[in-house]
Structures are given as C-alpha cells and as structure tokens.
Structure 1
C-alpha cells in the first residue's frame, strides 16, 4: 500500500478536457482558518503553493477556450514536529473552488465546490508528516491533492468543456491502462543470475 502511494506529487497523464485551456489562476487565502495544533503558514505561502499546483495540473491542457479557476483556502492543519507517534496528527486542507468560462464571462458552477484533502499515505506520513516533512513539503503535497480533486470535479461535469460522458469514460480508461503498464514495467524484477 505504501508503495502505491509513493507517487504523490507526480502528475499522472492528463485526461482530455475538451476545449479547456487555463485562463486566470486565482487563489485567495485571506480568510484561511488554522486548526490550533498546526504549523503557521502565511496567506502568501498558501497562495503560492496552490497557484503552482493549479498551474502544473491545468497548464498542460491546450484547448481553444479559456477557463478561469478561483480557489479559496478555507482552513488547514499542518502537522507539527515533536508530537508523539501515538498522537500523529494528519495534515489537512479545506478549499472552495469555482470555474468561469472566460469568453462568456459566466460562472459554470452554481455554488462553490468544497473539498477537504489530506496528505497521501506514505512511509513519510504514516508516523505523522510533521516528523518527516518540512512545512513547504506538506503544503505542496496538500495543494497537489487539492488540484487533483478539482480536476476530478471537472471530469464529473464534462458538458462544461464540450465533452460527453462517453468521451470522459474513454479518456479515463486510457489513463488507467497507461498507469497499469507503467506499474507493471516498474514492478518487473531484475533477472537473477543462475547459480554457478
């Protein structure tokens, strides 16, 4: 299980998003609430981390129509160092996302979509990431997972981007097949030389 989660921060193959191309990448963190047991992080640090995650994930799409993404950082907890393993707090991030069709100047979702994400389970985080990761690494991991959730949400609404559900299903299958091939190639053991 830990090996399967080790690819956190590695972008998977993009699923075609129809006519999507990233327009404005807006992130605000001025109302972010910090959980009491948490490392401190500034508005600027959160805005920088989330903007990078959005740009990395959505900047890959080369559609013919611009869509603007707006994300509000609602709350967070960054696991601090020095906490006993038995208490190992989890890092968490809560966001609200919105998307606009730039040319039509129209918001596509009626209400902001809320997401709560955690760091992926790995050998680093199983004992509490405050002991094994810096604040910046925690923020990058949470922002990466949040951007992935936003992408999944977009794929649940293919009509926004000129796609059909069948288009999305085919694209998801192609990505899953590519992931299986990559996993199989990485899992191929080195040949053991015959005994002398």
Structure 2
C-alpha cells in the first residue's frame, strides 16, 4: 500500500506504513554515508518538535492557523515527544543543506500524524507539512534554535569537559607558538599569525562557553 505525495519537484509514491513523506524519501536516496542516524541522539528532534508545538499554538492565537489544524498539530507533537515514533526519523547525520531535510522530516511526521488524526488517513489534504506545520519557519533559524535548546540541559555536564578541552588547546598554543601561518578574515587582507595564537583563541572560546 502506498500514497501519493507532492512537492515542488513533482510527486512520488510513499509507503503508507510510514509517517515521513516525499522530502524525507528524496534525501534517503542520496545520503547515508555515515550509517548513523541523527535520531540516535534524540535531543535535536525533541527540541524541534517542542518548537513546532509552540509555533502552532502561537499561530492559532494570532489567527494564522485555524483551531482545528492547530489542535491536531499540537496533539501530533505530543505523540512524537513520547519517543514512540523515533523510527520515523531515518536520516543520516552526514547531509548537506544545513539540516533542512531534518526540519522537513519532522514537519512530515507531525503533518501525517495530524492529518491521520483529523481524517483517518495519512497525507497532505488537511494538514500540509510545509504550509501548516512549518508555516514559514526557516531552517537556518529553527535548527540553530533547537540546538541551543537541546544543549542547555547538558550544560552542567558539558562545562567541566570544556575546561579540559580549553587546557588541551592551551598546551597546543604553547607547542605551536613558533609556527607561522596566514590568517584570513572576510573582506580583509591576509595577516600573519602563529598557529599557537590560533589555538589560544580556541582555548579562550572554550573558557568563555564554560
């Protein structure tokens, strides 16, 4: 059994037993080199789904999304947050495009769950993954915001490790103090600096984050 889904490039048959859709299928055909799925570390997906839920509630409040679809999307988000649908996120960690495909994979799973909730079947006829779930969200914004959200709970564990990394970089800064290289900055001339100075910058960055 399959269903037909459409996007700007055309249409494809999608197996009807999956909740992801056409854009996820397209990426699956051209990725997979690492053999590790993004969902192996589910924090990013959880954060994305929380943001989709918040966006649906906000869009309902301002009248951009009707109440029926908004409630179906928030219901679907709650289902995904249980972890029951983690197998519907098959994409490999190594991809191009700034994880646009991860964003769309999340949109499709939420959209198909919401559509099924409203109509009894998966598809795009009542809840569309881009029009209603994504609703103008830029991957460049939402993925980076999700990264911040999923890192925050881990800061207590991360800070001591950043201190160790800073110490390691500082040692390399001393080791490479006499290695001259060219430094490039956007729209400025190249200037000489040492590799040690560069590693010193890495060390300082880590200490600021910790």
Asked if Structure 1 and Structure 2 have the same fold, meaning a TM-score greater than 0.5 normalized by the shorter chain, the answer is no
Say which one has the larger Rg: 2
**Structure number with higher helix proportion:** 2
TM norm structure 2: 0.25
The structure whose residues are more often strand, as a share, is 1
Which structure has more RCO (C-alpha within 8 Å, separation ≥ 6)? Answer: 1
